[in-house]
Amino acid sequence: METANVVILSFFFIFAIHRLFNRLHSRSTKMKPLPPGPLAIPVLGHLYLLLEKNMHHLFTRLAARYGPVLYLRLGSRNAVVVSSVDCARECFTEHDVTFANRPTFPTLHLMTYGGTTVGTCAYGPYWRHIRRVITVHLLSALRVRSMVPAIEAEVRAMARSMYRAAAAAPCGTGAAKVELRGRLFEVALSALMETVAQSKTSRSSMGGAADTGMSPEAQEFKESMDVMIPLLGTANMWDFLPVLQRFDVFGVKNKMAAAVSGRDAFFRRLIDEERRRLDDGVESENKSMMAVLLTLQKSEPENYSDDMIMSLCFSMFSAGTETTATTAEWAMSLLLNNPEVLKKAQGEIDAHVGNSRLLGADDMPHLPYLQCVLTETLRLYPVFPMLIAHESTADCKVGGHHVPSGTMLLTNAYAIHRDPAAWTEPDAFRPERFEDGSAEGKLLIPFGMGRRKCPGETMALRTLGLVLGTLIQCFDWATVGGVPKVDMTEASGLTLPRAVPLEAMCKPRQAMLDVLQNL
């Protein structure tokens, strides 16, 4: 009863402060009109909108009604949503420095080592330091090239696993039903473990039926991510209303803490193994990313703590696994629904690479249509449809509207990528639109834009090209049960996974049997 009274009193106190703040705010912005927006309710403001499962669809509908710059009051925070090419360009070119900061959220604070990951830290000296570490030591052109053999090895392992599954298929059909999400996540994680920490998953030691599933390491990391990411999507009330944070009404803090604990144990094992190798004098020809960081730690311990190394690892692993697995799964879904595109991509690979070897990273520049397939997939299904939120550090104008300092900026990349004013048949899957540079100049921002753009874009695209190209080169694909179309329903949340994991019939191509048998 006492707790209930405290909650009620806190609610009315927040309501009174809210009314006072609104009066002061309206006076200060009397001559500076804010962007238009839907009706707000007391205290909560527009938080009721966040109950929508797919916010990018909701904001697209609201933009059609109120215009490309939408104002929202989310509990204790102000926010604007931009949904047009021109406004996005304005934010990330003319006002790039103004919007270079990130908002702080309690859930993100728990998840990102106090907001110290490269994607969530405040804009300033620390961000410049960590960005330089990534650019110079972790994702330089030389470093990305050195990662290619590990990525190629994991892609070969995936092809071998799928060939064995098809060979063991009943009734001599030569085709196996495969669930792609776990396999794709495994490839991405295994490649990162090898390049970041010179560590391997235990998948290679599995045999028989177990070879078709994820390794324990991949499952462990994926389970922690599967807990954390949905909490970031459904815990918005907790993030925007301080009274809920105090009482942890939804149990968000406990759930997040448990997932973070499991994730950190995973990273600590990787750090301890790499430190042990370095202490024993074991060094490979190409140092792993973690070995580089631990070497820097010895000379600059104040700049390279274990927590800082773990935050860098988390940035790499969270972006490198989810981006690759989700995008490749959407790409295969689109190809299954557009078999003529699949045949055209297969023909390009056959013409350039042939059937006597697997394609490699050096083949990618000679496979322009495959690149068009990837680009069109990222246009239609950006992994973060609303991108990662930014925050203004000064008053500015966007689309002619006043945006106060401290306003959160949400960018509807999904709407921008499907804007009928910019794209012909915007909802159609047509990779040909990118052939011969015909779509140059149109805005595509699946990895963000401006100085806070994702630094891992090059590595992600290289991995995606190898994964998707190998799946196309080695196997023929069909829908399960011969259904005419794959269901393209999206799941809810901050990211854009499929609602149902993709299952498809996979059959080794006759022309590639000799290669697959010798993997």
Distance in angstroms (rounded) separating the CA atoms of residues 161 and 17 = 60
Distance in angstroms (rounded) separating the CA atoms of residues 346 and 512 = 12
Distance in angstroms (rounded) separating the CA atoms of residues 516 and 206 = 19
Distance in angstroms (rounded) separating the CA atoms of residues 412 and 59 = 7
Instruction: Report strand pairing: 408-411 vs 77-82.
Output: parallel
Identify the CA nearest to 431 among candidates 377, 365, 383.
377
3-class DSSP state of 195:
helix
Query: Who's near 72: CB < 8 A, 6+ residues apart?
Result: 37, 40, 45, 46, 49, 78, 79, 80, 81
Distance in angstroms (rounded) separating the CA atoms of residues 498 and 507 = 23
Instruction: Report strand pairing: 503-508 vs 475-479.
Output: antiparallel
Distance in angstroms (rounded) separating the CA atoms of residues 260 and 37 = 36
* 454 in a labelled binding site: yes
CA distances from 186 to 35, 168, 230 (A): 44, 21, 20
Token reading at 415: 């709407």
Distance in angstroms (rounded) separating the CA atoms of residues 474 and 496 = 27
Q: Tokens 């030569």 — which residue? A: 174
Distance in angstroms (rounded) separating the CA atoms of residues 53 and 218 = 27
Distance in angstroms (rounded) separating the CA atoms of residues 247 and 191 = 41
Binding residues: 454
Q: List, as residue ranges, the binding site for heme.
A: 454
